[in-house]
Amino acid sequence: MKLKYFSDTDTAHIEFTDRGIHETKEISENIYIDVDENGNIVSMTIEHARANAELWEFSYQEISQQMAERGMGGN
């Protein structure tokens, strides 16, 4: 997965896979998803990212299955 942020346009682009894009779907006025020919998500674009996604900070946390089952997902 790759996250790219374009400060000049305040746009975030998240690439989940490198599969080919078959279609782009508008989820809301500022959020779009790209899907492959099977309907699986390939990427997501968020316009006005600071306001729409509160993109002030980015962190990544991998939760083990045991922690998730115990409800210790980090929230």
Give pLDDT tens digits for 6-19: 989 999 999 999 99
Which range, of 40-44, 52-56, 61-65, 69-73, averages the lowest pLDDT?
69-73
Q: Is residue 75 part of a domain?
A: no
What range defines the domain where residue 23 resides? 2-69
Q: Is residue 24 part of a domain?
A: yes
Collapse the DSSP code of 68 into the 3-class scheme (helix H, G, I; strand E, B; otherwise coil) and give the result: helix
C-alpha distances in Å from residue 46, one per residue of 10, 21, 34, 39, 60 = 9, 17, 12, 19, 18
Q: Is residue 25 part of a domain?
A: yes
Banded pLDDT at 43 (limits 50, 70, 90): very high
Q: Is residue 74 part of a domain?
A: no
- What's the number of domains the chain is made of? 1
